[in-house]
Amino acid sequence: MNVDIGNALASVASPGVSRASLERLDEQVADAHDRIEQGMKNHEHGYEALNLPQRTDPDAIRAAVEPVADADALITVGIGGSALGAATITNALADESDTEAVYLDNVDPEWVSSHLDRLDLENTAINVVSRSGTTAETLANFLVVRDAFESAGVDWTERTIVTTGDAGPLRDLSDRHDLPSLKVPDGVPGRFSALSAVGMVAAEVCGHDLEALLEGAAAEAETLSGSLFECPAYAYGATTYALDQRGAGINAMMPYAESLETAAEWFAQLWAESLGKDDLGQTPVRALGVTDQHSQLQLYRAGPRDKLVTFVSPGEAADRSIPATDVDDLAYLGDATLGELLEAEFEATEASLAAAGRPNVRLELERVDEYELGGLLYGLEAACVLAGELYAVNTFEQPAVEWAKKATRGLLGGGEFEEAEAVAEKTSLRVER
Ligand SMILES: O=P(O)(O)OC[C@H]1O[C@H](O)[C@H](O)[C@@H](O)[C@@H]1O
């Protein structure tokens, strides 16, 4: 990915960061890069994620997928990092695939049933993914999906691939039924695992090019250097950190392509769960161009000066002409294409924010394909690791998500948890219709 941080400079935006400040910050970036390099070299927890382009084995993924390679649909059962990376890839490339990729992460019963009722389970594969193998939502949904297959008279053991850790209920299930299984790589937190079997089994079932994904990521890895002025990922990570330090505590991730909408959702977990610690961290907002020009842009341009907008330009794409019209006011559209309109709207919105002194950054792809996606995923992961070094937080843990899990288990009789008691003590002030 290429990055243009010009509209984040203090000469353009407020909050903004001066070139001189970036040059001073570059000294911290150099130190952070040394730490990151050391962590990668020693295969340390978290930093290991940045070794995935060399570590992930596409052949092992293809071998595990082979029994279900002909599936018309794939149900991925997982949540958080165990679903969003895979969904980013398959949703971005959906037009290139004959396989429908469905992601059951939420436990909304109507939504789960609507998918299971409509899919032809005879020709559907199950991709169950969980590092721990104990995540309530994933296990609950897997039990529901397995039951649906059994009720349909389909042998789920012939349609299921498991990606999990070395031990736990899913590993036991895989061993007991001799299911094709892959390992969640050690040292790689879920939100950083898109470029491993966690994110790539679904890509393989959907027929996407695993080598190209990894080549794009590897090319991005080659850019990691001791200066933000030579590394797009570090330029983005350092600029977002500097802007947050100057008041831009919100980062709206706004890709100008429907195919990248899920990438914004994946980014939200990566950014929030990695950096939201010790009362620090920048709030990611999922946005979409052009749609949010008619929704959130008013706030971005004229609301509080507490936001950065990150545009993602998708590059070259298939286009479609706008037919001529006899409506005088719209005649100008008839000479254009939808792609030209989208590009013009993107550039106009970018300029609109700059004209209002609102910081924005552009991430540029050549096109939305496996190579560029691999580079985007890797680049944003590396940007996040760098930002975590600059914030001096523990980028790779997520202790704050544990409280609600314990409360949930307590509420469902899964053990004695004081968190569940706190639920009963909710302070209420109800206003009823
Ligand atoms: O892969 P699993 O162990 O099922 O975890 C799935 C997700 O749940 C956890 O609570 C964390 O919030 C995520 O970082 C993780 O990706």
DSSP 8-state symbol, 326? S
Instruction: For residue 327, give every residue at least 6 positions away whose Cβ sits within 8 Å of its Cβ, in sequence order, or none.
Output: none
Give CA–CA dist 84/78, Å, rounded: 9
What φ, ψ does residue 73 adopt, rounded to 5°? -145, 155
Q: Is 132 in the pocket of ligand 1 (CB under 6 A)?
A: yes
- Give me the pLDDT at residue 334, please: 85
Distance 13 CA to ligand 1 centre (A): 37
- Give me the pLDDT at residue 335, please: 87
CATH tag, 2-37+214-391: 3.40.50.10490
Closest by Cα among 89, 47, 66 to 186: 47
Give CA–CA dist 323/327, Å, rounded: 12
Q: CA 155: distance to chain centroid? A: 32
- Give me the pLDDT at residue 382, please: 99
- Give me the pLDDT at residue 6, please: 98
Calculate Rg over the CA atoms of the chain. 23
Q: Is 163 in the pocket of ligand 1 (CB under 6 A)?
A: no
State the pTM of this model.
0.98
Distance 80 CA to ligand 1 centre (A): 5
User: Dihedral, CA atoms, 173, 193, 82, 89, nearest 10 degrees?
Assistant: -120
- Report the 3 state secondary structure along 33-81: HHHHHHHHHCCCCCHHHHHHHHHCCHHHHHHHHHHHCCCCEEEEECCHH
Q: Counting Cβ atoms within 10 Å, is residue 111 exposed (0-12), middle (13-18) or buried (19+)?
A: exposed
Give CA–CA dist 241/31, Å, rounded: 15
User: What's the fold here for domain 50-208?
Assistant: Rossmann fold (3.40.50)
Residue of 45, 76, 79, 396 with the most ligand 1 atoms within 8 Å of its CB, for mutation: 79
Distance 186 CA to ligand 1 centre (A): 14
Distance 78 CA to ligand 1 centre (A): 8
Q: Where are the domains of the chain?
A: 2-37+214-391, 50-208
- Give me the pLDDT at residue 412, please: 92
Distance 83 CA to ligand 1 centre (A): 9
Distance 79 CA to ligand 1 centre (A): 6
Closest by Cα among 366, 89, 374, 367 to 213: 374
DSSP 8-state symbol, 163? E
What would the pLDDT profile of 203-214 be if each residue is shown by its tens digit?
Answer: 999 999 999 999
Ligand 1, atom 8, residue with closest C-alpha: 80
Closest by Cα among 201, 176, 173, 169 to 82: 201
Per-residue pLDDT of the chain (433 residues), as tens digits, is 999 999 999 999 999 999 999 999 999 999 999 999 999 999 999 999 999 999 999 999 999 999 999 999 999 999 999 999 999 999 999 999 999 999 999 999 999 999 999 999 999 999 999 999 999 999 999 999 999 999 999 999 999 999 999 999 999 999 999 999 999 999 999 999 999 999 999 999 999 999 999 999 999 999 999 999 999 999 999 999 999 999 999 999 999 999 999 999 999 999 999 999 999 999 999 999 999 999 999 999 999 999 999 999 999 999 999 999 889 999 889 889 999 999 999 999 999 999 999 999 999 999 999 999 999 999 999 999 999 999 999 999 999 999 999 999 999 998 999 999 999 899 999 999 9
Q: Is 138 in the pocket of ligand 1 (CB under 6 A)?
A: yes
What is the H or E stretch that residue 143 is in?
helix 136-151
Q: Is 408 in the pocket of ligand 1 (CB under 6 A)?
A: no
Q: Is 191 in the pocket of ligand 1 (CB under 6 A)?
A: yes
Please state whether the peptide bond connecting residue 15 to the residue before it is cis, i.e. omega within 30 degrees of 0. Answer: yes
Angle, helices 261-275/370-391, rounded to nearest 10 degrees: 20
Sheet holding 360-364, edge to edge: 2-4, 360-364, 307-313, 250-255, 283-286
Give CA–CA dist 255/264, Å, rounded: 7
Q: Is 82 in the pocket of ligand 1 (CB under 6 A)?
A: yes
Ligand 1, atom 16, residue with closest C-alpha: 81
Residue of 132, 173, 275 with the most ligand 1 atoms within 8 Å of its CB, for mutation: 132
Give CA–CA dist 409/197, Å, rounded: 29
ipTM higher than threshold 0.90 = yes
Closest by Cα among 149, 145, 150, 146 to 121: 149
Residue of 401, 402, 409 with the most ligand 1 atoms within 8 Å of its CB, for mutation: 401
Which amino acid, residue 49? A
Position in ligand 1 atom list of the atom nearest CA 83: 16
Q: Residues in the chain, how many?
A: 433
CB 249 within 8 A of CB 306: yes
- Give me the pLDDT at residue 132, please: 94
The pair of three-digit structure tokens given for residue 299, joined into one six-digit string? 């706030």
Can 2-37+214-391 and 50-208 be said to share one CATH topology? yes
Give CA–CA dist 377/372, Å, rounded: 9
> Catalytic site residues?
273, 294, 405
Q: Is 401 in the pocket of ligand 1 (CB under 6 A)?
A: yes
